[in-house]
């Protein structure tokens, strides 16, 4: 597995990272998204400093991840119920 050394700039700080080559593009994209979120919080809300902006980013990203997780669980449950119903119909049809 090829590892690359990259740098990501978040909130005015440079973070050197050793990452698998396959993850480089994703990490750069996420770093850019975080930077854009920080700018948005600074422009649109009463954000006192970078730490406040980073805290708001963490809260927003964590909330988004939780929503995705809950939706995923609901979709799995719904799919499972539909498959059980289809299976029951097929069993009744087979008899």
Give me the tens of pLDDT residue by residue for the chain, a chain 95 residues long: 899 999 999 999 999 999 999 999 999 999 999 999 999 999 999 888 999 999 999 999 999 999 999 999 999 999 999 999 999 999 988 76
Query: What CA–CA distance (Å, rounded) separates 19 from 3?
Result: 5
In sequence order, the β-bridge partners of residue 17 are 6
Q: Which of these, 6, 28, 1, 27, lies nearest to 17 by C-alpha position?
A: 6
């Amino acid at each position: 597995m090829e590892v690359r050394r990259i740098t990501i700039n978040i909130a005015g700080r440079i973070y050197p990272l050793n990452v698998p080559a396959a993850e480089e593009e994703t990490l750069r994209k996420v770093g850019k998204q975080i930077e854009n979120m920080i700018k948005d919080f600074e422009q649109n809300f009463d954000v006192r400093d970078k730490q406040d902006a980073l805290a708001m980013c963490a809260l927003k990203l964590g909330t988004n991840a939780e929503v995705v997780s809950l939706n995923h669980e609901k979709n799995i449950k719904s799919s499972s119920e539909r498959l059980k119903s289809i299976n029951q119909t097929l069993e009744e049809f087979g008899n």
